Chain A
Amino acid sequence: NAGVTQTPKFRVLKTGQSMTLLCAQDMNHEYMYWYRQDPGMGLRLIHYSVGEGTTAKGEVPDGYNVSRLKKQNFLLGLESAAPSQTSVYFCASSVLAGGWNDKWGSGTDTQYFGPGTRLTVL
């Protein structure tokens, strides 16, 4: 089990360039998330997905697009990169809990994180 993997680990872009970050999980999780972490800001949710073919906006979605064409993959795209998007990006996934007892007893909404992608936009 690789858990949650992210590609690439590092990337440097010039302003205006585009790129796609790939997240893959092999735990059959329904929920997937993209966060960014900036110094002194904690983790902020960009977009998330509650299942294959679905996506939703998080706290800071502007400038990003996502797609969840396969259950195991969640892609984060930057169409026109800006220096403000310099950050460390983390992908996470979690199980869809089956019910009330499952939720309280097993902590199945625990999110499992990938190792991160460090992106610099010049």
Chain B
Amino acid sequence: DQQVKQNSPSLSVQEGRISILNCDYTNSMFDYFLWYKKYPAEGPTFLISISSIKDKNEDGRFTVFLNKSAKHLSLHIVPSQPGDSAVYFCAASAVFSGGSNYKLTFGKGTLLTVNP
């Protein structure tokens, strides 16, 4: 049973527009969420995170929103740039819920393509 779901395998947007990547989770023990970006032939790199005591976290062009009641989070990239083209993974952990502590559960990823 997949606990972290990224239902869109791919997303294509125009440069300068907003990119919205979505992620849903089923495990109510998850209380810390992260987004990773991965370029081909490289390892994933950390992008932004949010804890369950917040509903929004912003870092430059990247904003993550968390809706705990809906068990849904989203990553907004504004404005989108061609260099943002990559696979984006959503990940979750149960840091303080007595769950898996430092283990991350990843979604399958969404391939974002930003067209010039």
- Output the nearest chain A residue to B108 by Cβ-Cβ distance: A42
User: Do B95 and A103 touch (CB < 8 A)?
Assistant: yes
Closest chain-B Cβ to A119's Cβ sits at a distance in Å of: 14
User: Do B109 and A104 touch (CB < 8 A)?
Assistant: no
The complex places the Cα of A113 from the Cα of B39 at a distance, in Å, of 12
Chain A, interface size category, equals 20 to 34
The complex places the Cα of A41 from the Cα of B93 at a distance, in Å, of 18
Judged by DSSP, the binding face of B is loop
Closest chain-B Cβ to A5's Cβ sits at a distance in Å of: 10
- Output the nearest chain B residue to A113 by Cβ-Cβ distance: B43
Chain B, interface size category, equals 20 to 34
Partner of B102, one of A4, A31, A90: A31
List residues of B whose CB falls within 8 A of some A CB.
4, 6, 9, 32, 34, 36, 41-46, 49, 51, 53, 89, 93, 95-96, 102-104, 106-109
